[in-house]
Amino acid sequence: MPNRIKKIGVLTSGGDAPGMNAAVRSVVRTCAYHGVECVGVYRGYQGMIEGDFKPMDARSVRGIINKGGTILKSARSKEFRTKEGREKAFKNIVKEGIDGLVVIGGDGSFTGALVFNKEYDFPVMGIPGTIDNDIFGTTHTLGFDTALNTVVDAIDKIRDTASSHNRLFFIEVMGRDVGHIALNTGIAGGAEEILIPEEDLGLERLKESLNKSRTSGKTSSIVVVAEGDKIGKNIFELKEYVDENMEGYDVRVSVLGHMQRGGAPSCFDRVLASRMGVKAVESLLDGETNYMVGLLDNKMELTPLENAIKGKTKINLELLRVSDIMST
């Protein structure tokens, strides 16, 4: 393959996700395999602005494939949103001799990479890292599978106590504007109802569903709620509604929060990260730029960054139907 790129920088930006370290490892070792230097950029775009770089080789990333979070750290950079900030970043990476960049993050990180490329014609390649799975151009983002396993484990434990005390639990999971985590974990965890932003269930239907569950003989219930669900202002408002409108329910709320973003990545996420890192580096070496690496039909494919940013992921309608049947 043509190899005009001699040194590649890698950074993680935005929210952390399990599998980011595995992706960093893959980028570094793919560079080593092809005889290309690799530089870690610490604290995302802010690190570019401040020149926070560290050379990385194959041995420097040993023992990190199983670790959550990101060894390169992550930070949001208001300064990088300014032309002056991006100019500082460009001067620093040119001084460092970096001539290609792999950005591991979500749509905000990709937007920064796209603007940077347009201003300086600098080769960039994106790897999607976010547990929300809300990036267009890939069926799975890094961290999504691990987050699902973390949530299901929590639901299983909560169900034990719900059954013991005949309680109704509202469990809030992450998913700012999408319900991928809620829908999948709700089915896997045997939830009686799943509330997601894409489907406006409405309070009356929620009431009907809970009454139906009680009539059928269920003495405890689990309702999984995506944080972006539009029924109530928040999950505590749902609790208040049930308390005020439905007798006989002992309602509890559990917000899983940032525990969903931590922990060792699953086997799936480790393999996915390894595949994405190889594809990202080899695509840069082939002269490609302004793309995101994604998993489509179990193959590594490239999606233009602009499409990845502007495109909308769709909820799986089959899973919606399955969830309705399973809650019978």
Tokens of 126: 């994106």
- The question of whether 132 is a catalytic residue gets the answer yes
pLDDT reported for residue 36: 97
Q: Count H helices, E strands: the chain?
A: 11, 11
Q: What is the mean pLDDT of residues 204-219?
A: 73
Cα separation, 262 vs 91, in Å, equals: 34
Residues 6+ apart with CB under 8 A from 49: 77, 79, 80, 85, 88, 89, 92
More confident residue, 217 or 169: 169
- Catalytic residue of the set 16, 52, 132, 145: 132
Cα separation, 186 vs 200, in Å, equals: 16
pLDDT reported for residue 93: 97
Nearest to 222 by CA among 164, 170, 180: 170
Summarize pLDDT for 16-39 with one digit per residue, the tens: 999 999 999 999 999 999 999 999
Q: What sign has the CA pseudo-torsion 25, 28, 29, 30?
A: positive
The whole model's pTM is what?
A: 0.93
Calculate the average pLDDT of the chain. 92
Q: What is the mean pLDDT of residues 163-185?
A: 89
Helix 144-165 to helix 267-285 angle, to the nearest 10 degrees?
160
Nearest to 94 by CA among 126, 53, 60: 53
pLDDT reported for residue 130: 96
Nearest to 271 by CA among 66, 102, 134, 123: 66
Inter-CA distances, 316 with 22, 27, 148, Å: 28, 31, 15
- Band of residue 78 on the pLDDT scale cut at 50, 70, 90: very high
Would the pLDDT of 213 be above 90?
no
| 3-class DSSP assignment, residue 172 | strand
Buried b (16+ CB within 10 A) or exposed e, 292-327: bbbbeeeebebbebeebbeeebebeeebbeebeeeb
User: What is the percentage of the chain residues whose pLDDT exceeds 90?
Assistant: 73
Q: Are 127 and 23 in contact (CB under 8 A)?
A: yes
Summarize pLDDT for 83-142 with one digit per residue, the tens: 999 999 999 999 999 999 999 999 999 999 999 999 999 999 999 999 999 999 999 999
Nearest to 204 by CA among 174, 241, 175: 241
Would the pLDDT of 71 be above 60?
yes
Cα separation, 321 vs 29, in Å, equals: 43
* H/E stretch holding 214: helix 203-215
User: Rounded to a whole number, what is the largest CA-CA distance in the chain?
Assistant: 70
Summarize pLDDT for 233-287 with one digit per residue, the tens: 688 888 888 888 887 788 999 999 999 999 999 999 999 999 999 999 999 999 9
Nearest to 104 by CA among 254, 293, 282: 293
Of the given ranges (222-236, 275-289, 309-323), which has the lowest mean pLDDT?
222-236
CA 194 to mean position of chain CA atoms: 20
Tokens of 22: 């595995």
pLDDT reported for residue 137: 97
pLDDT reported for residue 79: 95
Nearest to 143 by CA among 290, 263, 17: 17
Would the pLDDT of 189 be above 50?
yes
Neighbours of 57 (CB within 10 A): 12
Cα separation, 259 vs 268, in Å, equals: 19
